[in-house]
A = this chain, B = another copy of it.
Amino acid sequence: MGDSLEERIAARALRYVVEPPRALDPVVDLASPAELQAIFDQAGSLAFADESLPVDDDTMVDAVDLVIKHSVHTSHPRFINQNFAGPDPVSVVGDWLGAALNTTGATFEAAPVFTLMESAVLSKLGRFAGYVGPGSEQIPTLPPGLFCPGGSTATLYALQLARHRLRPDIKVSGATGEQFTLFVSAAGHYAATKSAALLGLGTNAVVKVAADERGAMIPDALDAAICASKADGQVPFAVIATSGTTVTSAFDDLNALGDISEAHGLWLHVDGCYGGSALFSPTHRHHLDGVERSDSFVWNLHKMMGMTQQCTALLVREPALLADCFALRADYLFQPDKLHAEYDSGDRTFQCARRIDVLKLWLAWKHHGDAGFAARIDHAVAMAEHAARRIQASDGEFVRVTGTFTNVVFGWVPPALRPLDLSPASIGQLTPEVHDALHTLAPRIKGRMQTEGTAMMGFQPIEGLNTFRLLFMNPEVAPSDVDAMLDRVSQYGDELVAAGQP
């Protein structure tokens, strides 16, 4: 490579992809906001002065090195912190190629290859979701969905589709004051509530249906909630089933929810942002049995599959509804008299310009094949099983709280409190002293991981008690990494207890 600034930055980015931080390399080199600002003062400044002068190349490169050093290393096998990790290297450079070719996915004219790739990938995803039959290997002019900038946005679009199917006049005339309601598991993602606010339905429109101890919606509770809503004079219009909840990766029973949605004539949307990728694995796709009965399905390939942020597919059973719901036919862009305008995807969605999110997925999928994608899922579940075994064998030091599929939610118990029952139903029985001790330990153990840089692991309240969450998707995670993560919890917990801190 040459020595232009762009080549020097590219060289560093590529080195990061080819030789990423591993094993005992830090997961994060933590610095506070004030410390980071002081650190970057060695390379110009993070801030901008009122008059910003050009910075010389050597200083720019110093800044790039600091960016890398102080960013969180999400490809590190000991970053098991949230529902993405371990970007696929082919996806990363596929993203690069898309950025280099910088265009928008709205029209065939500006994105001929990518328009067809979107259609091809959506058709393939649609076959996994059962929206499209096997043998549908031709690239469709009208694909069964579209790409969106993230799962929340896809949920928003799906709910707009659902409202539109029931009350098409609202697109033009606006809401009339009817009280619409939609139904989602109490363990479902908050995108449903954010969408309800944005759609003008109000957060009250979201009825949170009771989930069982694993986090899966209780079908009878859904039916009762819909009936109660109708009895109150409200207008139920959609059910959101969750395939892989955020904390425990619970899967709602799609056949049961399909029966209820069908009986009440409601749109069934499946939030498969996280767990949808189970469909890739012949061993684990049973979690989504019945998905083909839904009306829409959102699938974040940037979560379990390691595509870079973001790569979200919204699949729909009736593709024609997309244009009906979203199209406005802007005449400066969707000129019907230009070449191949029938392939334009931009008027089937809310956005105008769209970043090319499909190329990285197309490349990674072609490279790995279906079997490679399945292997990523199977490996993740195997790591979760290893973690569960290790917790089970810990003689009460670690206690598994809940978790399905790739997720293991657990607590660490100080020696003086062992044995302790931390099943969700028992958490409410803890004395205030024990509850507080455990509750404040988790963020402090996490804080020690960050300041030491040894690992990053998520925590969140279950029944009001902070608990740890391991969730697996990075194929680079080995059993030794799982062991090391648990060892760090143990070590920092012991140290905090010894220091008299809980």
State the copy count for this chain. Answer: 2
For A458, the closest partner residue in chain B by CB is B332
A109 to B55, CA, bound (A): 28
Contact with B along A71-94 (1 / 0, CB 8 A): 111110000011010010110111
Is A417 located at the chain interface by the 8 A CB criterion? no
* With known contacts A199-B198, A368-B54, A36–B246 Cβ distance under 8 A: no
Is A127 located at the chain interface by the 8 A CB criterion? yes
A68 to B491, CA, bound (A): 51
A353 to B102, CA, bound (A): 22
Is A149 located at the chain interface by the 8 A CB criterion? yes
**Chain B contacts of A14 at CB under 8 A?**
1, 7, 10, 14, 100
Is A231 located at the chain interface by the 8 A CB criterion? no
A444 to B223, CA, bound (A): 58
**Are the C-beta atoms of B246 and A335 separated by less than 8 Å?**
no
**Are the C-beta atoms of B443 and A335 separated by less than 8 Å?**
yes
A71 to B202, CA, bound (A): 43
**Chain B contacts of A326 at CB under 8 A?**
194, 197
Partner-binding segment picked from A133-141, A253-261, A420-428, A476-484: A133-141
**Are the C-beta atoms of B201 and A365 separated by less than 8 Å?**
no
Is A301 located at the chain interface by the 8 A CB criterion? no
**Chain B contacts of A113 at CB under 8 A?**
36, 46, 66-67, 70-71
**Chain B contacts of A6 at CB under 8 A?**
17-18, 89-90, 92-93
Interface-central residue, A101, A115, A156, A458, by most chain B CB under 10 Å? A101
**Chain B contacts of A53 at CB under 8 A?**
369-371
A: contact size bracket:
35 or more
**Are the C-beta atoms of A149 and B116 separated by less than 8 Å?**
no
Is A434 located at the chain interface by the 8 A CB criterion? no
A46 to B342, CA, bound (A): 19
A344 to B97, CA, bound (A): 31
Nearest CB of chain B from residue A156's CB, rounded to whole Å: 7
Partner-binding segment picked from A172-180, A288-296, A397-405: A172-180
**Are the C-beta atoms of A175 and B198 separated by less than 8 Å?**
no
Is A394 located at the chain interface by the 8 A CB criterion? no
**Chain B contacts of A458 at CB under 8 A?**
332
**Are the C-beta atoms of B52 and A365 separated by less than 8 Å?**
yes
Nearest CB of chain B from residue A146's CB, rounded to whole Å: 14
A96 to B110, CA, bound (A): 21
Would you list 20 pairs from A and B whose C-beta atoms are within 8 A, ordered by A residue?
Answer: A5-B367, A6-B92, A30-B112, A32-B340, A47-B138, A48-B137, A67-B359, A72-B111, A81-B110, A87-B99, A96-B96, A99-B99, A99-B309, A151-B352, A160-B198, A174-B179, A203-B328, A310-B353, A335-B443, A339-B447
